[in-house]
Structure 1
Amino acid sequence: MKKPKSARQERILTELNRAPSLRVAELARRLNVSTETIRRDLDEMTEQGLLNRTYGGAVRSLSTEPPVTERHTLFVLERERIAKAAVQLLKGAQVLMIGSGSTTVHTARRIAVEMKNITVLTHSFGVATVLAINPTIKVVMLPGDYHAAEGATVGAHTVSFLNAFYADFAILGASGLGPDGPSDALLECGAVYTAMVGRTAHTVVVADHSKHDRLFPSRYAPWRDISHVVTDQTPGDELKGNLDINGVKLTVC
């Protein structure tokens, strides 16, 4: 059983995934503890690199993201809507590449229900598992080093293997949607996504509103290389303007 402090700090990270930043007083109210307790937690978590302190509050560290198992519990309804809309863009596709992440797993589950007689290349064990319910879908798992927190293979072997294939669409998630492109918290996954973008005719980025206007270390493609963004809320003016300038089609569901 988790100790109260450990459980509380996990809850703080969950709350920070639902809002770009939170004040100490608001966190104290949500967790039903004193502001002094929250301040001690934030100081300790800052030292661990889990978040960044701000004046009177905290923001999630831009260089980190929770494990994929934790992300699966967030924005479930929004991601289901995104998945449903994304699959409508794939009609007629024969070969897909799908990246790792929680929203891509939702999309893969919808693909398994609505599509048949296709081939899917993926490095995500979660994606492969949900596709397995449809026996007409051929799943090709990419080789590589296993990244436990992401539930996916990464590395030079993964990228090299991708270079032998072409696909009609790549379906990719993102940790952040920045002014000049989508980015990922994990450099290793970013390298795989870059390879997928380079081997497909069209790239669809699926990302909920919590990813808008956030920056992470690995920008895996410029917006000019992305065909479509599917999200659950209209982006802010700057991000939407950059999508428009680069010819990225936007679907808000």
Structure 2
Amino acid sequence: MLTTHRKKAILAALKRDGQVIAKALSESFGVSEDTIRRDLRELASDGLLQRVHGGALPSSPAAADFVQRQQISTVAKSAIARKAAELILPGQVVILDGGTTSVQLAKQLPSTLQATVVTHSPSIAVELVGHPHIEVVLIGGRLFKHSVVTVGAVAIEAIGHIRADVYFMGVTGVHPTAGLSTGDLEEAYIKRALAARAAEVVVLASAEKINSASAYVIAEVTAASTIVVERETPEALTAPLAALGITILRT
């Protein structure tokens, strides 16, 4: 089998099964595991999959910068944001992550809601400037322009002084075994620190993020108590997450 045909077959198996194992592929194609690992490396460099120990998982398509992501799955993000906004109670201290879905969540907060929003996203802070009853706490640090959020030691230090009721986390990958992940190392550290300061973690995940993985692990998937997904997200994708005790909230 030609290399190009083998790579197409690998991607087809990945789409069908949700993961591929290098040993099984080598036996199926009658080639060495070294050959399969080379194929996986090349496919990963093209952004077509995420390599993991022993094989590969689907790569998250949510790796574009903030401006580009604003044009992706806009209807789904709005629906997820509306459902997530229903979880916020008056008087709570709420952490809103950076990201386009979180900006939509800020837009959905009712004008009568009295709460405190902590965020490391200038975009969310600006969105809430006109809200009459929301107190905004903006975490400082170095601006990571790709996602328009603050990162670094200053942000980590500030996060350590917060005690929140709920953290609405944005991710690029949600996988039952590979966990919650994102495409930048510093963002992963920030998200992990924020999760540690909240009594509850709610993950906002459009369908393309479920059962996919990015390079940097935030936490085990069970760090999330609830995952908000689109109504049409296939049950086959969410069932393994629900089996772990995570509440799946559909829009």
TM tier relative to shorter chain: 0.7 to 0.9
Asked whether the 8 Å contact 2:166–2:202 carries over to 1, the reply is yes
1:167-206 aligned within 5 A: 167-180=164-177, 181-206=179-204
Partner residue, 2:221: 223
Displacement of 1:109 in angstroms is 1.2
Q: Which runs of 5+ in 2 are unaligned?
A: 1-14, 16-41, 50-57
Partner residue, 1:79: 77
Distance 1:228 1:93 in 2: 20
1:51 and 2:47 matched: yes
Deviations 1:95-124 (A, max 9, x none): 01111111111111112x355221111111
Deviations 1:62-81 (A, max 9, x none): 59811011101111111111
Partner residue, 1:106: 104
Give the TM-score taking structure 2 as reference length. Answer: 0.73
1:121 and 2:118 matched: yes
Displacement of 1:182 in angstroms is 1.7
Asked whether the 8 Å contact 2:61–2:208 carries over to 1, the reply is no
Partner residue, 1:41: none
1:6-155 aligned within 5 A: 51-52=47-48, 65-111=63-109, 113-114=110-111, 116-155=113-152
Give the TM-score taking structure 1 as reference length. Answer: 0.72
Distance 2:59 2:165 in 1: 35
Q: Which runs of 5+ in 1 are unaligned?
A: 1-19, 21-45, 54-59
Q: CA 1:243 to 1:92, structure 2 compared with 1: closer, same or farther past 3 Å?
A: farther
Deviations 1:193-245 (A, max 9, x none): 111111111111111111111111222121222111001133453x4243223
Distance 1:100 1:156 in 2: 17
User: Which stretches of structure 1, 4 residues or more, deviate above 3 A after TM superposition?
Assistant: 49-53, 60-64
Task: State the secondary structure of the residue aligned to 1:96.
Answer: strand
Partner residue, 1:247: 245
Asked whether the 8 Å contact 2:164–2:199 carries over to 1, the reply is yes
Q: CA 1:114 to 1:218, structure 2 compared with 1: closer, same or farther past 3 Å?
A: farther
Partner residue, 1:234: 233
Q: Which moved more, 1:174-183 or 1:114-123?
A: 114-123
Displacement of 1:133 in angstroms is 2.0
User: What's the Cα RMSD here?
Assistant: 2.7
Displacement of 1:93 in angstroms is 5.0
Q: How many residue pairs were aligned?
A: 203
Distance 1:207 1:138 in 2: 26
Asked whether the 8 Å contact 1:50–1:61 carries over to 2, the reply is no
